[in-house]
Every structure is written in C-alpha cells, then in structure tokens.
Structure 1
Amino acid sequence: MSTDIRIKKGLDLKLVGEAQAIIAVVSRSQVYSIKPSDFHKVTPKLVIKEGAEVQAGEVIFYSKDDEAVKFVSPVSGKIIEIKRGEKRVILEIRIQADAQDTFVEHGKNNPNEMSADQVKAHLLASGCWPFIKQRPYDVVAHSGDSPKAIFISAYSSAPLSSDVEVALKDKVASFQAGVDALRKLTSGKVHLSVNGKSNSILSGISGVELHKVFGPHPAGNVGVQIAKINPINIGERVWVVAPQDVAIIGDLFLNGKFDATKIIALAGSEVANPQYYAVRIGAQMKEIVSGKLASDNVRIISGDVLTGAKVTADGNLGYYANTVTVIPEGNHYRMFGWMPFAGADKHSMQRTALSFLAPGKKYKADTNLNGEERALVVTGEMEKVMPLDIYPMQLLKACLASNIDKMEKLGIYEVAPEDFALIDYINTSKLEAQEIIREALDLMIKEVG
C-alpha cells in the first residue's frame, strides 16, 4: 500500500536530448579522481602517499571531524598525484587504474542477521558511509547520530536526469539488500518515493513505506518529500540516500565488495545519441563524452542542468552524479534580446517569450543568462515554483543578512540548495539562490551545529 504525494507548484523544464533507455559500457578510464570538495564540509586526512598502490575499496582518506567516516578508492591502481591548493588544501587525488580491479574483501553478510552496530561498522569500514547524507544541512551524515527516518527518492524530476527505473532494472535485489541494511540504522521508517505515473520496478520492495509522487519538478527532490511526509523540526535529523547508492550498499552485503559502478545518463541537445552508460565513480569525462558530441562549443555538466557542476573534458565525474548533461555554451548574444517575444525558440516562465503558447514543446537551452544580476525582486515570483511551505524570498533575505533567528523561523532546516534551483532559473533578479542557501547552511553549521 502506498501514500500519494501530489505537488502543484513547480516547473517541468522540457529540453531536447533525453537519454534513450539503452545501456552501454564506457571504455575504462586510465585515471580516476576523488575530490574532497564533493563531500561538503569534510576536511580530509590522507592515509596514503603519492606512488602508493591501492585496491578498489581501500581507504584513501578519512574525515578529520568524524574519523570513523572513510573515503575509498573506486578502482585499484596507483596514486599518481595529490593536487593541493592554497594552504595545502587537498583538491584532488588522482589514481592511475589497473587494467582490471582487485578488491578489498569485506565478506558477504546478511543485514537482516546483523545488529544495528554491526551494520554501521560495516558501512563505515567499507567506505559506503559517505553515500548517506543528512538533513538539515545536506552534508555527509555523522556516524554518531541516529536519524528519525531515512528517505530514498527513486523519482528524479529534474530536466534530462537519469531515470531510476532504467538505472536499477538489473539491481532490484541489490536495492532490497541496501534497504535491509538501512532499516537497521533508524528506529523510524525508511520512506521510498517513486513516480506515481508509472508502475515502478521498486514497488515490491519490502521494509519501506512507499509513496507515489505526482507533480512537476521539484516533486522528485527528497527535501520536498520530507516536508510532505515527516518534516524536520529543530534538533532533528533525517538521512537521505540516492537509489543507486542504496544498490551499491546492497552489493557490499551481497558480494562483499565496494563496487563503485553506476549507470549514468549522457543527455543533452549536444549529444549525438543520448543514452545510458555504465561507469565508475570518478571516471574521466573524456572517456564518457569522446566521439559522442554533436559540436565542440559545449558546456559539459556533471549532474543536471539546474544543480550540476561545470567540468571540462579533462575533468571527472562527480562522486554523487548520476547524469552528465551537454548543452550549447551561451557565448552568443541576440540582437534586441531584451525585447519581449524576441525569440520563438526560447523558454520563459515570465511570458517574455512565446513558449507559453506551446507548453509541450522541447527547447534547446544554452548557458546564456540573458542578463545580469539586478537590484529588483519581483514579489510572488519565487513562490510559483516553491512547493515547500516556506516564504522563499523572505528566507533568502534573512540568509543574505545572516540573521540566524529569522532563518530558523523561515525554514532553513527544511531546505537544501537543490530546492532553490528552479528559483535560480526563473527569478528576474538573477540571484544565485542556491549559493545563498549553501552559505547560509554553512553558517548554521558553524553557529548552531
């Protein structure tokens, strides 16, 4: 039996280049990369040196603030470079991969026969713990905490994002094992949300409370689902895990190995044949996109177009990314672009283009901002795409003022940067709302904890 979640506020941004449900294997990268910056607020402490040989699943560094949380190599090979920035901050660990992986063996285990402490210790020792993130603050969960509930959103509503149904079609048993393990970590429920418009392959998963989600993006955001199911109050913690990461956790228990393989969607208007590929976490982007792009003047994004990070062809797939999106670079300008209705090929929620006449049309979006930041905030604009029961404009103002009391009253504990991604897209003032929220959450971590 399931509980429906229906969202009315939001926006489905329809873009050209959706990935076809075909899965291929990407050529093995020569070099893989782990970036501590993927794990927000984690200060790494290295346990290896340049030149060291590592196995897949071997510990590379741990968190200085929570030493039980370990981060491991996605492949076996040799540490060829440790990049550092100012004040010797670790920027990247580069691993030259072997032709074939050798794994650290953790042993097969049945999570149903293990205690909560045993499951937690197994996840921490194997390097699977960083897949578990905490709300509030959207950071890696602290190993000493106990959440009131765990949430898994198996419905991605972001534009051109990876379809969970495709990515997990051969991983249902692993997903079930991952759920069985996660159930041990909370005295509350494990909530699983799926697309309400289709018959999900995960509908038969046991040990979860199933929710069918309906509505436009950001209906698939786990923060929206938490707010509808079991909102976060001051002092409370909930944990969230992405569905493919649940399957990786399940594989650990079923096979005794840390297998960092994911099924990612290579999508976007500049991809010749958008489809899915099996890759390892940290793979080189050039191996993923080489020979697959329709042009050279492109923006490669590790993630979706609303929340992903810009990378170059020499960069690497982000640790949590399940999508690689390629769209045209916005380095061109339109004559009289400020004029209303100046282009039939542009999408706008504000009716400054003709897109409202063709609501089902797909668009070839680029990275052009079509303007710069303005000293203007249109009242009521942000609320149209914010399904959470908060006042987004007022919360952003409180964040900019670093007013902790107001931020608490206006719902800072309920949000993550991704919940403001659509506001980045539609707001007339061109504010970087996600950046503002991230800085505010960091302030809350520092001042409140």
Structure 2
Amino acid sequence: MSKAVRLKKGLDIKLLGEADQVKVEAKSPTMVALKPSDFHGLVPKVVLKEGEKVKRGEVVFYDKYNKDVKFVSPVAGTISEILRGEKRRILEVRISVAAEDEAVQVEPVDPSSIERDEIKSIMLANGLWPFVKQRPLDKIADPAVTPKSIFISAFDSAPLAPDYDFILHGQGQFFQHGLNALAKLTDGKVNLTLNGKGSPDECFQNAKNVEINKISGKHPAGNVGTQIHHFDPIDKGEFVFTLNPQDVVTIGKFFAEGKFDASRIVALTGSEADSRKYYKTVIGANVNTIVEGNLTNDNVRVISGNALTGEAIGADGYLGFYDAQITVLPEGDDYKFFLSEGWLSPGFDKYSANRLFPTWLMPNKRKRLDTNLNGEERGFVVTGEMERVLPFDILPMQLIKAIMVNDIDAMEQLGIYEIAPEDFALCEYVCTSKIDIQEKIREGLDVIEEECM
C-alpha cells in the first residue's frame, strides 16, 4: 500500500544558476576516467595495461575483495594512463576515446523471464552491479545479500538539482525493463518515491512492478535515506538496495539491447556557468567538454555533483560515476572588508539559515553564494541547528559525538545503520563549529563495517 509523507524539517538553499530545460549534445570527450574513489572501500585490480585497446562494456578492473564485482569501460578506446598516488594506490584509469565505437555484445533478455541468480550473474559480469548501492554503509551492494527492499528516488531536492522528470522523459520502456530486473533481486518491494509537490513524468507515474510512495517538504526530501527512514526503516542485520533513476535506465537498456550504454544526461548549474543546459555525455567524461567556454571567470570551483555533497574536480576533471550534475560556484578565496562585506556588514547580499541577515525576508530570491566557510573549526557546541534540518528520528549531535569518541554501542543505538554522509550534508552546512560532519559520518560507518558487519 502506497504512503504519503510530509516533512516538517529540512532546508532549501536557493542558489542562483538553475539549468534551463534544454537538452543538447556535449562535445565528444577525448578522454574518460574511471575513479576508484567514487566507490568507497574499493581496492581495484586492473586487468588491462596501459596501451591496450578496450571495447565499450569490456572489464577494466574488478574489486580485489569481491572478484565478481566488475567495472567496465564506458567507451571504446585505449587505456591511456593508470594514475597512481601514495603507496601506488590507483586514483584514475584514463581511457582515450577511439574514433569508432565498438561495444561488447551479448544476447538481449527479458528480465521478467529469468530468475534472480541469472539476473545477478548478468549484472555482475557486465559492469551493471556497481550502480546498485546498499544501506547500511552506503557502498556498492554485496551480491551475496538479499535486500528486504529496494529504493529509487524519482527526484532530487539538493541545491540546483537536475530534474529527473525532464531527463527521463521518453525513457519509460527502458526504465520499466530496469525495474523488472531489480524486482527479482528482492523478496520485498521496489519502492519508487515521487515528489509529492509536483506532477511526475509518465515514466514514473506509469511504472509497474513497484510501490509508488510520495514525499513532500524541503531538502533532504529527495534523499533516498530520508525515504527509507520514513517508509521502511532499517534495523541491524537488514539491508536495503538503492539506485539512481538514470542508472535504472542503464540497466534496462542492457537487458533490452545487450550492450552497455554509458550515456548520461548532466545538468550544468551554478551562478558562474554560462549556457546552463542539460548535456548528453558519458559516465566519467572529461568535463572540459561541457564547461570549456561556459565559465564566467577563472576563479571558480567546478564540482561534480551538487554544492552540498559533490567533489571539487576542476575544469579539467572527470565526471563522477553517480553524478548527473556539474555545479560551478565562486571560489570565495578573496578577502572581504569587515564593514562592507564582512561580519559587520548589513548583509543585504548574504544568506543565513538562522535569519541573521535581512535576506530572510525574501525567501524565494535565488542567491549567488561562494565557497567561503566564513570561519574556522572551533569547539563543538550544542546549538539545536542540526535538529531543525534533519528529518530523522535521530539525535544528530549525540550521534556525531559518539562517532568522534568511537563509542560503537552508542552509534548503534543512535541509528547509524540508517544513514549515509549525504543525509548529514545540511547538518554540516548549518554547523556553527565548521566541522566536516559528512567525513565524521563516513568514519563512523567504516568503524561499524570493521567491527560489526
């Protein structure tokens, strides 16, 4: 039975720079990269060497600790460089794109006609499994686990988030194919959560083999963690799988056509970006094919993802594996005179979640905010700010303190199995103490994995 939830807590940060609903073809990338850092906890074992040719959909590396989980090339080309960091840790596998596309072809199959084990085998062998993440731990799902349910959020509520209704318009057939495959992976339900405030695209509205729920409210309403918490909470020993809507389409296309299709529609957003549109590119593409000539100035931060949880990659970086958004913000590294622009200024161009400046009288006005922290890390004090923006029945301050002192029992009792770093992004934003809360949450999840899983 479907449910509807209205959130009372949260915060919408209205930034300037929303993408126009226009789809265009990005320049064909000359280089793409697979970044192991996109997959937390992954230790990759590369199967191809520099200079070797690779087809689209051919295995490039696999998980050292789970050889069944494979990662494939999003394009046809040549392994150009395996970039390594400290202790020879692989940072990127760069692939130069060939002029002619050549893909690995397998026999198309209707997922409704085969059983769970065969669907798993197909997804694992052909690089589709990394699209499936799990809670707890917020990492690539364990193929040996049968989840109690699967969650797909049909919308994103983060600042300047892409519109999935617009992105997936006309992709209903492939989306349904993907849902049919995912339905075989669980004994429970596939939950598709719609935005309760909008009118969803027919791709979502007409979806079958799923339970459609609705949630409305401020960010993080679109976070899958928020939806799991309100519709099907996780207890210790339980697992839930999660996916992005575009990744469901990628899975569906593979079953329908027998080829790995790494195409991705990405929204270029942010106040410092020109020609803000939806660009069709591929997973891991060099973002200079999108941002080159589209930046208002050089002193900007180019982020793969949104402003709260994304990764700064620079204008020559590579699109993250799970990202459908590029955000360009002012860098915020310039000095500000304390009377005109600093802490004693009237604040007519500033924003505060606590109504410190007159701009709170214009809640719908979009603002040009930079990346300046406006302060440094200081004592971790109780303010009540986090509780106002976190729509979970969780005590955020107490949980973070339990993580900081490595109190595993307290972490478990305070709900760490339900959460991911992105769920605490707003807590980090409003934190007066300027603490990297998302990093602390990740450290706590790593401890739980090592000691309790």
What is the TM-score of this pair, normalised by structure 2?
A: 0.97
Once residues 351 and 14 of structure 2 are traced to their aligned partners in structure 1, the CA distance between those partners, rounded to angstroms, is 9
Give the counterpart of 2:402 among 398, 420, 426.
398
Matched, 1:439 2:443: yes
> Offset of 1:338 from its aligned partner?
5.8
Aligned residue runs from structure 1 range 239-258, under 5 A: 239-258=241-260
Once residues 142 and 106 of structure 2 are traced to their aligned partners in structure 1, the CA distance between those partners, rounded to angstroms, is 22
Residues 382 and 397, structure 2, Cα contact 8 Å, conserved in 1: no
Once residues 439 and 417 of structure 1 are traced to their aligned partners in structure 2, the CA distance between those partners, rounded to angstroms, is 10
> Offset of 1:341 from its aligned partner?
5.8
Residues 23 and 278, structure 1, Cα contact 8 Å, conserved in 2: yes
Residue identity matched to 1:60? V
Once residues 308 and 131 of structure 1 are traced to their aligned partners in structure 2, the CA distance between those partners, rounded to angstroms, is 18
Once residues 414 and 129 of structure 2 are traced to their aligned partners in structure 1, the CA distance between those partners, rounded to angstroms, is 31
What is the TM-score of this pair, normalised by structure 1?
A: 0.98
Residue identity matched to 1:29? P
Give the counterpart of 1:382 among 386, 392, 399.
386
Aligned length: 449
Residues 340 and 352, structure 1, Cα contact 8 Å, conserved in 2: no
2:196 corresponding residue in structure 1: 196
> Offset of 1:333 from its aligned partner?
2.9
- Residues 195 and 2 (structure 1 numbering): CA distance in 2 closer, same or farther, change over 3 Å? same
Q: Deviations over 1:360-416 (max 9, x none)?
A: 111001101111111142331110000011000000000101111100001110110
- SS of residue matched to 2:16: coil
Residue identity matched to 2:248? V
Residues 50 and 80, structure 2, Cα contact 8 Å, conserved in 1: yes
> Offset of 1:35 from its aligned partner?
0.8
Residues 34 and 93, structure 2, Cα contact 8 Å, conserved in 1: yes
Once residues 225 and 178 of structure 1 are traced to their aligned partners in structure 2, the CA distance between those partners, rounded to angstroms, is 20
Matched, 1:207 2:209: yes
Aligned residue runs from structure 1 range 146-225, under 5 A: 146-201=146-201, 202-225=204-227
2:23 corresponding residue in structure 1: 23
Once residues 153 and 344 of structure 2 are traced to their aligned partners in structure 1, the CA distance between those partners, rounded to angstroms, is 38
Residue identity matched to 2:199? N
1:317 corresponding residue in structure 2: 319
Residue identity matched to 2:406? S
> Offset of 1:291 from its aligned partner?
1.2
CA RMSD of aligned residues (A): 1.1
Q: Deviations over 1:64-102 (max 9, x none)?
A: 111110000000000011111122111110101112321
> Offset of 1:343 from its aligned partner?
1.6
Residues 3 and 231, structure 2, Cα contact 8 Å, conserved in 1: no
Give the counterpart of 1:409 among 396, 408, 413.
413
Residue identity matched to 1:81? E
> Offset of 1:335 from its aligned partner?
2.0
> Offset of 1:107 from its aligned partner?
1.7
Residues 306 and 326, structure 2, Cα contact 8 Å, conserved in 1: yes
- SS of residue matched to 2:265: strand
Matched, 1:371 2:375: yes
> Offset of 1:358 from its aligned partner?
1.1
Residue identity matched to 2:386? M
> Offset of 1:182 from its aligned partner?
0.1
> Offset of 1:111 from its aligned partner?
0.4
Aligned residue runs from structure 1 range 38-437, under 5 A: 38-201=38-201, 202-336=204-338, 339=343, 342-437=346-441
Residues 25 and 279, structure 2, Cα contact 8 Å, conserved in 1: yes
> Offset of 1:2 from its aligned partner?
4.0
